[in-house]
Each structure stands twice: as structure tokens, then as C-alpha cells.
Structure 1
Amino acid sequence: MKTDDIRAKFLDFFGNKGHKIFPSDSLVPKDDPTVLFTSAGMNQFKPYFLGIRKDVKRACSCQKCLRTDDLEKVGKTPAHHTFFEMLGNFSFGDYFKEEAIIWAWEFVTAVLKISPEKIWISVYKDDKEAYEVWKEKVKFPEGRIVLLGEDKNFWPANALTQGPDGPCGPCSEIFYDWGEEFGCGRKDCSPACDCGRFVEVWNLVFTQYNRREKQGKPVLEPLPSKNIDTGMGLERMASVMQGVITNFEIDIFQPIVDEIYALCKNKTDKDRFHINAIADHVRAVTFAIGDGVYPSNEERGYVIRKIIRKASWHGYKLGIHEEFLYKIVPIVVEVMKTAYPELENKRENIAQIIKAEEERFHNTLDTGLEKIEGIIAEISSRKEKVIPGDKVFQLYDTYGFPYELTKEIAEERGIKVDEEGFKELLTYQKKRSQEKSHLKQEIFNASQIILNLSETEFIGYEQLELEEEVVEILDENLSTTVESLNKDQRGVLVFKRTPFYGESGGQVGDRGLIYNSDFKGEVYDTKLNEDRILHYIQVIKGTVKKGDRVKLEVDKEKRLDTARNHTATHLLHYALRKVLGEHVEQAGSYVWWEGFRFDFTHFRPVSEQELKWIEELVNLCVINNDPVKIRIIPFQQAKKENVLALFTEKYKDIVRVVEIGDYSKELCGGTHLKFTGEIGLFKIVSESAVASGIRRITAVTGRWAYNYIREEEEVLEELVAMLKTDRKKAGKQLRNILAKMKDLETELTKCKLQQLDSVADELLQNAEQIKGIKYIWKRIDDDPKILGHIVDKIREKGKNNTAVVLFTVRDDKLNLLLGLTSDFVEKGVDGREIIKKISTLIKGGGGGRKDFIQAGGRDYSRIQEVKEVIKQEIISKLR
């Protein structure tokens, strides 16, 4: 059975059981600070588990997931992945264990037609209810039911004894038995054994308890509403249904594996570990980039960068030393497009981003090799034989340098690595990552104070003033309710209705005033939290109490300026796609009253000419004064109309479409103008890189654009006055001055070069004599090119037994040149090896020929040590 068929049959089965079928959520969880990536099917249903949303009681989905906890295992084992799909059915206070178990059994045996004799079941040791359902209702043989502890059959694992506090419960797992020939041979072999014979295909979690500490001891209290959360690994079930022992042989993996074999050429099954890992990693980054995560040095972007570099390193081990991962993207898209058709339009952009990151990694490899050489030199100088674990981990974690490569290079030099120390740090990092991703009670419960409030109705599209009653007052940290706020105190006011826009969708919250005859408060921020709009205020006068009637007044000027900028982002998006191409997609934005920034996908800098065209196109839209129309329509209709949507956003069934003229249609909940002419003026301030394949434009509109241009004009007026000319001639006059300066610099360089003989002679006369060697050490603060000429002249005049080191310090950076006469090289001295010895001292590195090397570093505080190390290295080489 094909993987696509398993996916479809699962959703159909539970759809017919009264479950609403949800599409996969993005790999980027929205408004969820507990996880970097969507790592389980239940993530998108947290509002239902929390009771925030109650419109659905039963749900099912096939969810894209990404986990990196077992990154080192990927490719080595049959079923570990970074990216995978999780099939799941969920109940929010509706059915419980009996239905969950019976339906799971029905699907596995009646729909998938897996032989019952090949199934084993595990149950939490104290969960008598689940055990009885399997035994009495399903009539499952007791001999194939295994009772396991909280480390195996409780969610979260070990939650009872170790925490975290919060919702938890026992689970029951369904295993497939591959047969005795795949096991350890022991008679008591069962799912409790890790020999590989049994593969877990479905986990049924029964969330029925709230775990908390009581008098220092863990207590499980029954939840008022019991939930079901199940997860079936699609790839694992496909391997079972297709009769292949590893997930990498199933129909959605094999074409990718075949493509990698073709790229590698002449590779055999001995290389399968590397090929499997590459296949997995390219799938992972293809989907992650498709969902708006781009390689960078922070959070999600850092994870994706690490996965790309890991895959690139596997290719390096296969003998591929050029960019190749991006070539695999088309086959990944082809294989997965039935379930995820949106990948098709993003294919080229994804490939370009991966290629750019591969190029960056190959440069990093060079830097990493330099770092390793420095570390090895430092260790050798201390006559040690082991690279400490923290150094190995730094190379791995900071520079993305594979552990295997560090080990390989070290062993070539007769040096070992502290593998245990490295693994300890790696384990510690994983533990911290897991701790961050646990759904702890204070996060899982979102803040019970907020959830207890009614949702706020936003009326700010139509009006900016309103009289309303204070429903609730919270402290500034949202940790407790308060009865009142007095003068100079800060806090949060909540209302049933408000004209204040709460920060969301990249637009800042409104500012303004809230007041009555006895009280006045300044609204310094407005935020949206679980559909509740929170007004952060500082009391200027009097006291405000719960139940008071007050007037809410939005700052009209700031709102209008913000609306100008928000409408301008839509025009900019249109112009970018028109000028640069349809591959451009919004990757984020931040809109406030003074201006905005707009991030978008594009794999090269935007040229000056392109920026001019983009700016001109936006201003033409402004001049045309096109109408800005708002429509409220079903999300599915918006998709049919190809309305642009931000892939990191999660949309409801009914959505708001902002339509400008006949050229721009986007889903957006922000505040906008009625006509584009109200923008007044649009001006691009800057364009820059944010991450691989992500560019950023900052811009201003209206009066802020006018002020910006006025300031630029003032600078121009000052320049014109200094040049004592008019505007039209200023450019030409400035170019003439710069040309004259360049001519003077050339003449100065010629003069210096003419003095080289005397400089070289003086340095040779004052050279330090060491065992027949002339050693010159001198700081000369000049252009490194001049220093290079001096070194060459000294080597020429010194003829034999001469070593010269010249250095300069500029902007706290060291630039150093080492020159050796040819007889040193003939005797086996290599200046490049000498520079490697000092790389850690100067926190840098260098390169060049054996007799002429240039080095640079960020630290010159140990320059005297550098002098002695170079001297001693030369002497030792000539012994």
C-alpha cells in the first residue's frame, strides 16, 4: 500500500467516525513559545485541549513534524528521522480509552489488514482500564500484552516521578513484530527489548491527570475533562505495509535515495548510512524552508543551518566536495507534492536558499580547518595528546564543524579527542532543548487568568472612540488580578469591546488614552493574547477600578501613520513580485507609525536599479489613488482565488481579505487606508540581508517619508555649500576631487616604494643575529601592500639566512607578514606551518606561500609571545 493511500485511508476512517479533518499545521508553531518546531500532531490542537476553543470535540490530522533530539542517529537506524509525518486522532472531552483502543484496532486490522498475529501491545503497568479494554473488548491475547513503566508508557515520559507539572497520562502502544529472525534470539524477547524486532507504529495517549507537587510529593489529580491524543508515524506504518525493514526503502523515500546514489556515482550499500541521512535531511530542510524557516544563527534558523551542514558533511564523506543538496530538492517536491502541493511553487526558491547555505558551509569548512589547526598547534606546544571536549563541542556547535571530521583530522596528527566530554556537552544541550519544549503547566495552561476572561470584540476598523466598562484589571506581568490602579501605577485593563488594535500580524498595538472624570491613563501598548485584547496603561491621574465606565480613545495620528505603512507593505509586496519575480514571498514584517520593515525571500541583493523600479512602482500606485477594499470570506474560497497568505500565520475558517486595485489580494487582519493616495509618499530607506535567501527592506511613508527626504536634502545642501557650487555640478566636482585624491595616493605610494632600498637596508643592519640567522621584527603602521614590498626587498637583499616579520595594527586588528629567504624553504622550513602555531595567540589565521605568508587576527595583546614563537619555530626547524 502506498504512503499516500495510508494517509488518505486514515483521515477517511476517522472522518467517518465524526472527526473533523484538519490540514497539517505549519512546522512553525504560531503563538507557542514552548517549541521551536511543530513536533507532534497535538500541537495545533492546544487551544482545544486548553478549552479556549470548543467548536470541535473530535479531530484528526496528518501533521508535518520536525525533531532534532536524535540527529546523530538519523541514517543509522531504520526509523529515526528529523522530518516525519504524524497521523493522529484526538478527542477533547468526548470519547476516551475504549473507543480510542477499539478504533485503533479496527483501523490496523480491518482497514490496513495487518495480521493480528503480527501485533503486540504495551500498556502502562498501573492502567488496568486500558488493559481490560484490550483483553475483554478487543479479545487481544494476554501473552502479547506487555506492562511497562512510566519511562516507556507514560506521557510525558517519567512525568509521575520527575515532572513536569501539568496535564499527563498513561499511554498504550501498538507494535509490529518483524519476526524472530530480526530479533536478539531470546525467548522472552518483547516490545520491552530494544533489539529491533519490534517497531512501535501507534501511540495512544490518555490525558487524564494533572500532575502537581503536594507536600513535596508528586500527586496525580483527575482532570475534569479527559482527552485522547494519538500519534501514528506514517513512514513507520508505510514500511510495515510495504514489507521493507527500513523507512528509507518506502515509496516516498526510495526515489530520493536513488537520486543521491546517482549524484554520488560508484557508491555501494556500505555508504547507505550517509545516503539515508542526506535523504532525511534534505526532506527536512525542504519542508522547513517551505514553511518560512531560513538558515541563520538564531533559534529555528540555526537548527536548519545545522541540518544542512550535517547533510553537506555526509556528502563530503561520500567524496562530494561541491554544492549538491539543492539538486535533490526537485525530487523531494515531486514525491511529496500530492499531499503538499504548495511545495511546487516554492521549489526553485528552496533550492536556491539551500545552495547558498552550502556555499557558506564550504567557506566555514575552511575556517573550521583553520580553527582545528590552531587547537592542535596549541595542544602540541603543551605536549598534550587530547583535544578537550569543550573545544570539540565549540567547533561542532559554534562553527557547524562535524565531530567526525574533527576526530579524523586529529587522528591523522596522532592526537585523540575527548569523546566523552564532547558527548556530555551534547547531552546537556539536548536536555536543555527538551526542557524548553516540555509543555509545562504554566505555559500549557497559557495563563488561567487570561483564559478565564471573555474574548474581546475588536471594533477599531469602524471607530476609534468608545465608552465601555472595565471588565478586569491585571498586574503588568499578567500574574494576578487587582481591584484598582492608582496614580503612577502600571497595569492591564480588559474590556468586552475595544477600538484599540492588539499587536498581531506584524502590526504594533495602538497607543492612546483611557479616562473618565476622575481618572486618566496612558495606553503605552496593546497586545492580543488568546483573542483577548490587553490594554497596558500607566495611570496619569486618579484611580481606576473594576466596573468603572471609561472612555477609550485611540491616538488617531499614530493609527493613521500605521495604516499608511501597513497598506504600503502590501504595495511593496506587489512591486517586489513584479520586479524581482513570482518567487518572492513575505517572510515577515514589522509595521509601526514611524515606518516599517519587510522581509522577503530572494537569493541575491536587490540592485540599485531594481530598488528604483520598486520604489517608483509603489509611488505610481499611490498616485493612482486605487481603492482598498475589505472582504470577509471563507478561507477555502480565498485559497481558490489565490489570495496571498503568510505561511507562518494560522488562519481561521473565515478570513479577512485586503484587496487593492486589481493587482493585490492578501489575507490580513491589520488596519488599512481606504485609498492608496492617503499614503502620500513612499521612500525606501535601506535594503539588506537577514539570513540565507532572506532580504529586508525598511521604508517610510507620509510625513515620515517627507522628513526623511528633507534630511537628505539638508545633507546635500551642506555638501554643495562646502564644494562652493550648485546641485547640478556637485556630483561632477566631487568625482574630480576623489580622482585627484587617488592620483595623490598613487604618487605617495611611488615615493614610498622609491625609499624601499633604504628602509630594507636599515632593517637588515639592525637585524637580530641568532645562530647565524638574521631575524627582523618590526612594527610599521602602513598599508599592508607597502609592507609586502618591504618584505620582498629584504628577502632579495638578505639573500640567505634571513627571516623578516613586519606587522601593523589598524582598528584593533593585527596584520602580519612573514618572509623567508629561499634557503629556508630548501632546508624544509614552511612559513605556513609557523603561522598555524600562532593562530590561537592572535585569534586569527593566514595563508600564502612557504616563503611569504600574510596573517591577520583580532588580538594583538600577546604580540611579544608571537615574536618568540616564530623565532623558536625557525630555529627548531633548522636544527
Structure 2
Amino acid sequence: MKNLTGSEIRQMFLDYFKSNGHMVEPGASLVPHNDPTLLWINSGVAALKKYFDGTIKPANNRITNAQKSIRTNDIENVGRTARHHTFFEMLGNFSIGDYFKREAITYAWTFLTSPEYIGFEKERMYVTVHPDDTEAYNIWVNEMGVDPSHICKTEHNFWQIGEGPCGPNTEMFYDRGEAYDPEHIGERLFFEDLDNDRYIEIWNVVFSQYDGKEGVDRKDYKELPQKNIDTGMGLERLACILQDGETNFDTDLFLPLIHATEKFTSIPYAENKMAYRVIADHIRTVTFALADGALFANEGRGYVLRRVLRRAVRFGRKLKIEGAFMYQLVPVVYEIMKDYYPYIGEKIEYIQKLVKAEEERFHATLADGERLMNEVIASTKDKVISGETAFKLYDTYGFPFELTVEMAQESGFEVDKDGFDKEMEKQRERARNSREALESMNSQSADLMNFTEASKFIGYEETICHAKVIACFVDGHQVDVIDEEGDVILSETCFYAESGGQVADSGVLLNGAMKAKVSDVKKAPHKQHLHHVKLVNGTIKCGDDVTGQIDTEKRLIITSNHSACHLLQSALKAVVGSHIAQAGSFVSDEYLRFDFTHFEKVSEEQLQQIEDLVNQYIAQKNPVMIQNMNIDEARKTGATALFDEKYGDVVRVVSMGDVSKEFCGGCHVHNTQEIGVFKIESEESIGSGVRRIVAKSGYAAYRDFVALENQLKEIAGMLKLNGLSNVVAKSTQMLDELNAVKKENAALNASMLVLKADELAKNAVDVNGTAMLVERIDNVEGNTLKDMVMTLRDKIDGVVFIGGSHNGKVVFVSGASQKAVKAGCHCGNLVKQAALICDGKGGGRPDLAQAGGKSDEKLDEALKDVKNKLGLGL
């Protein structure tokens, strides 16, 4: 067995499969591109789904990759066990309809046991197979020479997520020996699947051979027309064994991070290994996720990322590390991983900025959470904090469960862990159900996958084509004739197929006896253009000569919008920052849409600058140049490319003067002046750290400008003005008059408040020398309640708490005089606990605070709780 670094293992694996005819596929971004079914790329096959279901045909049917992945479903086990991670690398080899079980098993066995590669002792290898997979079992025994006593047959060895490709799998394990079996249990650990550190799973090979269907018994699954191989081997696990690490963390992939963390504290690694391991694991996750375009947020993947960082910060507190420190570990991640992921180096400063800001934000949250916990403890009578409360603190407020337990124990309380675990399991179940529903692949269409006859696209230059129908399909099945609706492939076509965010062309196919409308065009597995047709008259059959005509007016608008989309990306980088990355786009004849990663809303001023800049680019009359280039040569020109797009050896580069240069297969104008004019319609958030700009170009943009002008004319008419020049001045005058009326109204309200305050002040009760007043007042805005509380606070020289319901929302305001604050009152804590009861949040200073809630039906319960705290409930 060789002693190899993590980088050496990764490279050896890729080189091995490359020497066996595999194409090395670049690892995909952790943020899925054009796949809304995934929150993160979480396995080697996740980015290859379209190959497996036959939607896309790869350049080589043999693929190998090293895929960075994120999984957080078992995050609480990270650091606690030897092998759990939130970020890890999966080494894989894949066959798309090429080799199958014999070759896949042989490749794996050779790599693991040959002295030329890993060199594991064969007698220390163990294998699992599915009981019905006699073919795999016989290959292991008769061809690989594995002792049958080292093979376990188990029903668990069947891989399936939802519907689509699935099949049995085989796993390879390595026996690390007696040193990792302190109780001397032996092979029972393997055969009974007991939790252990001795028999370590190394590699999983899935034989994707069946088409899984919901409601169909597994034994009745049909064989796939294209059988595939999907494998996965964890780099961290292999490094652990080869470097003889106690755990995955005791390897060169983690130890530099652990040693760097030791510099921030006097507590050594040996005294709290879990804390160090959590920090080392989580900073890798955060660094790579941010580098790939994710951002911290309150929902989606941004929320997951926030939770990961906060967990690490929490363990930093266990090591007595004060202040932000995680951001200082980002360069260490880069140094460990730079051999295979050099792009991280370009983003270190950007990542550190985001991590530091998030750390500082969480330190403030922790301080608030500790105050909230004190309130929970103070209001709990039976010395047990419920699981629901603990989970709510964890899930809603980001307050770690361990800290809840720790603070509870310090006060002589217990936490209902079983109740917390039940709530956590409910959350996991929701995640599992969502994952099973979303991650499944499409079923394969054998006829489309097997149709390989070439079709030529001439649509960049031509809008009319004369071609022969070379194939007809209905619902994925090849037919001779289409008499109503179906899909056809032509020998050559002028119709653009939907791709790269650009919608497909529409138009007609016709000959003397037939006319069909083309409503959509997509790419078949072998990249032929598949035209969806609906017959107007006649029939269309294989061998027919037809003429195709695209809707040229629609194409011209699409072309203008697509070129404008390129200019928009350039303007965004110039105004907002070079860190933005494209997260998707859509170009149609109605509008253009550009999605990009950014950590905050684009301001109105920035949007105006962007719009102005795009129109400047248009007015510069920049020529649009299109070149087909070798991909390496194209990258050297600085052309923008999507991070994880699958490009071929030759790419199409679209340049617009010195303003924009991108990899693009879409349709474009010849000169930017053809775009005419550009107008931004909207900017919004569409998810965690992803913004969207919708815009128009050309005549559609002009119409919108005219519509705005007509609205101004209408306003001018309402203001009885003759032109538009005085609209702003007149509007300002009217606003000033309105504000004067509001001030007068506020003065009247203030007078009424004084009268109301005099009446309410009579209800104050003396508690240990401090005046206390708790009231419910509905249908009053928060600011008005705040004014009333301040008036009452000064009048009674004590504590005032008012709660009310306004438009279905709960409002709490509390005020305390200096005398009351010195006596121990804290208004921020009072409103925060009341808000918690009403499913809300808020807080503030000891002398004045405001909060809100969602559940007004719990308002009286919250007010009762406040009265109890103030000594008024007895």
C-alpha cells in the first residue's frame, strides 16, 4: 500500500481512467447550473444526469471526474465521527452505454489492488453485492479471485432515487486491522453492518440497468436500452487509509487547517478534536460554495451555508476563540487545494470579506440568543425546556442546540432532547421527500438515443431551408408518418433549437401536400434539431422533401435581446463588480432575463448607470464578430464562459468591439446599433444570493419608454399643467402641502394621546416600588403606540408594555424609565419573549423596544406572560 497525498491520489485516479479511454470531465460548480432540482451538486453523477437519462450524448461514452460535493443532511455528525463531511470530493468513473459489470469491477479492483496504483492487500478486501446479482457475484469470485467468505449479500445494495435509471450496486471495503477493532469483534462488524472504524467502505459501483417506475414491483422493472455505470469513491476516505490517519481529518487535506486554527487558541487539537474537525470541514464547505457563486442568505442554499458557518463559529467558542477567525483560514484552504482548484486563488479576498461579515453578524446573533435563552429559562416552571422550543431557537434564530443544553444545565434545567430530535427528524424527512421527488432522472427514449444520422444547422445565415425529413417521432418512439402532432429531424435546418438560454425558433414546414406549424425545437441526444410539429393539413413522413421557414420577425427580436444580454453582463461587471457570475439567462422575443450572483440589492442609482452604459455600448456602433476557436485558445483571449458549462474542443466566441467577449452559440446582431435602445424593467432577488434583471431592447423598449411618457402626461393633466416640464415642481409643492397637513394631524393625535395617556396611567400598579402598566390596544400603528408608550413611561415613572393587533399583525412596544431600568427592567427582553410566543421577533434597548408577531390569536397569552414577569399576574 502506497503513502500518497490527497493531490497525488486524485491525479493518479484520473490518469488511470484516462489511460483506459475515459474522458476527464471537469468538475461542475457546487451551485447547479440549469438544474432546479438540486440545492447543491452532491455527488459525482449529479452533474451528469442528462447523460444517464439519454437527453444528451457525451463526447466520449467513458467519463471520469473528481467532483466536489456538498451534503448537509447529517451535519450534526460532522466532527463527531471519523468520516462525515459537509464538503467532500467524489472520484468517479462512468460508462454511458459502453462497458458494464465485468469491466467496471475489473477497473476498480485493478486500481485498488495493483502495486502500480494503490496497492491494497487483496486478502484485506471485502465486497458487498445484491442477493439477486449473481453476475456481479460470479465476477468477483471467479474472475477477481475474491474469497466468497469476504462477500456479503445484502438487499441494501440497490441504488434508486425516484423514477428513472436504477440498479444493483457493489461496494468495496478495506480492513484496517485489529488496531481499529478495540473490542475484537472481527468480521461481524462487516457482515452485520455494525458501526465501526475497521472495515471502511472505499468504492461504490452502481450498475444502472433498470427503468424504475413508481407503483411497479422491482422484479418487474424493464431493462434500460442504454445500461450505464456510475461509481463513487471518497477522496478523503482513501487519503485517510493511505496516510494511516486516525480519521479522515488526520490527513494532509485537513491537518494544515487544524494547525492554523491552533494558533488562535491555547487549547490544543488533542484536547478537543471535534471542535477542530468541525471548523476544518466547514471552512472548506464555505470557501468552495462562495467561490462557486453561493451567498449567505435566509433561505435555500444560502441558509444552509449560513448554518454551516455558524456551527463552525459555535465550535470556535468552545475553543475560546474570540471574534472573527474563520475568514483567516480561507487562504489555507487554497494552499491545500490549489493544485486542482487554482481558481480559488482569484477569489480569496472576496470570500474572506463575505465570511468575516457573516461571522461578525453571528456573534451579535449569539449575544441576542443568549438573552433569549435567559428569557426562556425564566419563564419555564418545570425545569425542562421543551423540544419544540429548543428546535425553534435552533431553526428560526440560529441558536445552536448544544448551547441551549449548556445554558440550561448551568441553570439546573434539562432540555427535551427526544422532542428536539423528533422535530429535527421531521425536517430531515421533509428534505428527503423533496430530494427523492426532485433528484430522479428522466426515463430514456431508446429510439432517440439510437438515432445517429447527422443533421446540419444553417440557421445562423439562413431563414429558409430546403431539406429532407430523415426521422419522425411521436412521444419518443420512431414512426414512419405523423398525421397530427410529433417531432421531426431534417437533413438540414434553419430553426434554432432552444439552448444557452435562447428560446427556439418557430415557423412552418411545408410542401405541396402538407403544412405543419413548428412550435418548438430542442436538441436530440446526438444534437440533431428535433422540431415539434402540429399538422395544419396533410401528413409528414420520413423521406419527404420540405421547405422550412422561420418566423423572421420573432428571430430579429430574439437576436436583439440576446446581444443586449451580453452587453448587460459587461455593464453589470463594470458597475456592480467583477465578482458577479452568471447564474442563468433567458432570451425570447418578449424580453431578456439575466440572473447573476450578488450579495445585495442593486441600487436604483446603479441600475440607472447600468442602463446608461448599455445604451452607450449600443450607440458606439460596436461590430459583432463571431469566431470558432479551439477552446484553450479561446480561454486565453479572456472570453467569458459559464463556470461549469460542458464545452467541446471548438467553441464559438462572440465579440462586441472591446466591450464584450463570451462563449456563445446563440444568434446575434451584426452591429450593436441594430439593438436600438435598451431598458431595464425590474431587478429582484430570486433566491439565496441570486439577483435577476429583466429588460427589453429595440421597439419593445421604445414602447415602454413611450408608455412612461404617456403616464407623465396623464399626471400633468391631473395637475392641470400644459406640459411635462413642471410636473416635478408641482408634485413637490403638493407633497409639501400634504406633509404640512400630516404634521397638523400628528399634533392633534399627540393631544389625543395625552388625554388617553392620562386615562391609562390610572391603571398602573405599584410592584415593589416600581409602577407597572400592561395594556392591549388594537388597530393602532406601531409608531403611534411607541409615542403613547414614551408618554406613559414618563408619566408613571415606571414600566409600560402595550400589545395590539393591527391588520392581522401583532405589535409590541415597551418603555421603562431610568429608575425602572436601574431596578433591572429590560424592555428588549420583554418584547422579544412576547414576540416569540406570537411567532415573531424583535427587540431593542433596556429603556425602549419594539417587536412584531404573526399569530394575533396568541396575543392575550403573550400579554399574560409579560404580566407574570412584571409581577402583575398573581
When normalised by structure 1's length, the TM-score is 0.83
- 2:255 is aligned with 1:257: no
CA distance in 2, matches of 1:368, 1:474: 60
Aligned letter for 2:721?
Answer: K
C-alpha displacement at 1:827, in angstroms? 7.9
- Whether 1:282 and 2:276 are equivalent positions in the alignment is no
Matched-pair contact (CA < 8 Å) for 1:89–1:231: yes
- 8 Å CA contact 1:201–1:232 kept in 2: the answer is yes
**1:5 corresponds to which residue?**
8
Residues 311 and 551 of structure 1, relative CA distance in 2, 3 Å threshold? farther
- Alpha carbons of structure 1 residues 491 and 714: separation in structure 2 relative to 1, 3 Å: same
* 8 A contact 2:128–2:152 mirrored in 1: yes
Contact 1:353–1:692 (CA under 8 A) maintained in structure 2: no
Q: What is residue 90 of structure 2 aligned with on the other side?
A: 86
Residue matched to 2:115: 110
**1:79: Cα distance to partner?**
2.1
Residue 76 of structure 1, CA deviation:
1.6
Q: Which residue of 2 aligns with 1:459?
A: 458
The residue aligned with 2:42 is 39
| Count of aligned residue pairs for this structure pair | 857
Q: Provide, for residues 748-778 of structure 1, a one-character-per-residue CA deviation record: whole Å limited to 9, x for no partner.
A: 5455546654443344468899999886746
Shift in CA distance, 494/289, structure 1 to aligned 2, threshold 3 Å = farther
Cα deviation, 1:334-366, whole Å, max 9, x if unaligned, reads: 321211122222333334444555566567768
SS of 2:20's equivalent in the other structure is coil
Per the alignment, residue 791 of structure 1 pairs with 789
2:170 corresponding residue in structure 1: 171
Residue in 1 that maps onto 2:592: 596
2:153 corresponding residue in structure 1: 149
AA matched with 1:290: A
Q: Secondary structure at 1:246's aligned position in 2?
A: coil
Moved more, 572-581 or 720-729: 720-729
C-alpha deviation, 1:196, in angstroms: 0.7
Structure 1 counterpart SS, 2:168: strand
Counterpart of 1:14 (choices 14, 17, 40) is 17
Structure 2 residue 74 is the aligned partner of structure 1 residue 70: yes
Q: 1:820, 1:512 → 2: CA distance?
A: 73
Name whichever of 125-134 and 559-568 sits farther off: 125-134
More displaced stretch, 90-99 vs 653-662: 90-99
1:656 positional shift: 1.5
**Bigger mean CA deviation after superposition, 326-335 or 830-839:** 830-839
Which string of whole-angstrom CA distances, capped at 9 and with x for unpartnered residues, describes residues 422-476 of structure 1?
Answer: 354245245425534765xxx354444643555764432222233556643535x
SS of aligned partner of 1:247: coil
Structure 1 residues 497-552: Cα deviation after superposition (integer angstroms, max 9, x where no partner): 4433333222223344455667665555444464354545666x546554566554
Asked whether the equivalents of residues 208 and 230 of structure 2 are also in contact (C-alpha less than 8 Å), the reply is yes
Measured in 2, the distance between the counterparts of 1:222 and 1:146 equals 29
- For residue 239 of structure 2, what is the amino acid of its counterpart? A
1:291 match: 292
**How many Å apart are 1:81 and its aligned residue?**
1.8
- Match 1:556 to one of 552, 559, 562: 552
| Shift, 1:662, TM fit | 3.0
Could you tell me how far 1:731 is from its partner in structure 2?
Answer: 3.5
**How far has the Cα of 1:242 moved from its partner?**
2.3
Which range moved further: 242-251 or 516-525? 516-525
The structure-2 alpha-carbon separation of the partners of 1:714 and 1:368, relative to structure 1 and needing over 3 Å to count, comes to farther
Counting only pairs closer than 5 Å after superposition, residues 696-711 of structure 1 correspond to structure 2 as 696-711=692-707
Retained in 1: the 8 A contact 2:383–2:414?
no
> Displacement, 1:667?
0.8
Counterpart-to-counterpart distance in 2, 1:373 and 1:592: 56
Residue 715 of structure 1: SS of its match in structure 2?
helix
Provide the alpha-carbon RMSD of the alignment. Answer: 4.4
Q: 1:781 to 1:331 in 2, by over 3 A?
A: same
Aligned residue for 2:757?
Answer: 760
Q: Distance in 1 between matches of 2:607 and 2:214?
A: 60
* Alpha-carbon distance change, 420 to 614 in structure 1, aligned in 2, over 3 angstroms: closer
1:643 equivalent in alignment to 2:639: yes
| Residues in 1 aligned to 2:216 and 2:205: alpha-carbon distance in whole angstroms | 31
The answer on whether the counterparts of 2:302 and 2:688 sit within 8 Å (CA) in structure 1 is: no
Q: Which moved more, 1:74-83 or 1:771-780?
A: 771-780
Cα distance between partner residues in 2 of 1:522 and 1:302? 46
For residues 847 and 221 of structure 1, the distance between their equivalents in structure 2, rounded to whole angstroms, comes to 60
Moved more, 259-268 or 80-89: 259-268
* 1:473–1:546 CA contact under 8 A, matched in 2: no
Aligned to 1:617: 613
> Where do residues 509-528 of structure 1 align in structure 2 (5 Å cutoff)?
509-514=504-509, 522-528=517-523
- Whole-angstrom CA distance in 2 between matches of 1:758 and 1:686: 48
Moved more, 46-55 or 690-699: 46-55
Q: Distance in 2 between matches of 1:399 and 1:724?
A: 54
Gaps of 5+ in 1: none
Partner of 2:26: 23
Q: What are the ranges of 5 or more consecutive residues in structure 2 without an aligned counterpart? A: none
Deviations 1:127-166 (A, max 9, x none): 66666666666666x39x51212356x342xx7xx99774
> Equivalent residue for 2:341?
340
Q: Call closer, same or farther: CA 1:516–1:28 in 2, change over 3 Å.
A: farther
- 2:494 maps to which of 490, 499, 506: 499
* 3-state DSSP of counterpart to 1:41: coil
CA distance in 2, matches of 1:457, 1:400: 56
1:175–1:202 Cα contact (<8 Å) kept = no
CA distance in 2, matches of 1:765, 1:163: 67
Provide the rounded CA distance (Å) in 2 between the counterparts of 1:394 and 1:671. 51
Letter in 2 for 1:336: M
Conserved 8 A contact 1:109-1:115:
yes
**Residue 672 of structure 1: how far off its partner (Å):** 0.9
Given that residues 124 and 174 in structure 2 are in contact (C-alpha distance below 8 angstroms), is that contact kept between their aligned partners in structure 1? Answer: yes
Which residue of the partner structure matches residue 858 of structure 1?
Answer: 854
Check conservation: 1:808, 1:815, Cα contact below 8 A.
yes
Contact kept in structure 2, 1:456 and 1:533, CA below 8 Å = yes
1:630-674 alpha-carbon deviations (Å, 9 max, x no partner): 222232332233321011422223222112213422111111111
Which sits farther off after the overlay, 766-775 or 513-522?
766-775
Task: Measure, in 1, the Cα distance between the counterparts of 2:367 and 2:206.
Answer: 48
- How far apart are residue 730 of structure 1 and its match? 4.1
Correspondence list, 1:208-227, <5 A: 218=219
- Asked if the contact 2:44–2:67 (Cα under 8 Å) also holds between the matched residues in 1, the reply is yes
Partners of 2:696 and 2:482 lie apart in 1 by: 40
Deviates more, 1:124-133 or 1:461-470: 124-133
CA contact (8 A) 1:764 1:776 kept: no
- The change in CA–CA distance for 1:650 and 1:117 in structure 2 (over 3 A counts) is closer
3-state SS of the aligned residue for 1:658?
A: strand
Residue 102 (structure 2) pairs with residue 97 (structure 1): yes
| Greater Cα offset, 809-818 or 324-333 | 809-818
SS, match of residue 238 in structure 1: helix
Counterparts of residues 298-309 of structure 1 (less than 5 Å): 300-309=301-310
Secondary structure of the corresponding residue to residue 219 of structure 2: strand
In 2: Cα distance, 1:496 partner to 1:699 partner: 36
- Aligned equivalents of 2:323 and 2:344: distance in 1? 25
SS, match of residue 669 in structure 1: coil
Deviation at 1:568, TM superposition (A): 1.1
- Letter of the structure 1 residue corresponding to residue 680 of structure 2: I
* Cα distance in 2, alignment partners of residues 754 and 49 from structure 1: 74
- Residue type at the aligned position of 1:698: V
Q: Which amino acid aligns with 2:669?
A: L
- The one-letter code matched in structure 2 to 1:559 is R
> Would the alpha carbon gap of residues 494 and 72 (structure 1) be closer, same or farther in structure 2, given more than 3 Å must change?
farther
Change beyond 3 A, Cα 1:388–1:626? same
Specify the code of the residue in structure 2 equivalent to 1:619. N
2:809 matches 1:813: yes
Q: Report the AA paired with residue 184 of structure 1.
A: E
Q: Which residue does 2:127 correspond to in 1?
A: 122
Give, in whole Å, the separation in 2 of the partners of 1:448 and 1:462.
33
What is the deviation of 1:220? 7.8
Q: Hey, what does 2:668 align to over in structure 1? A: 672
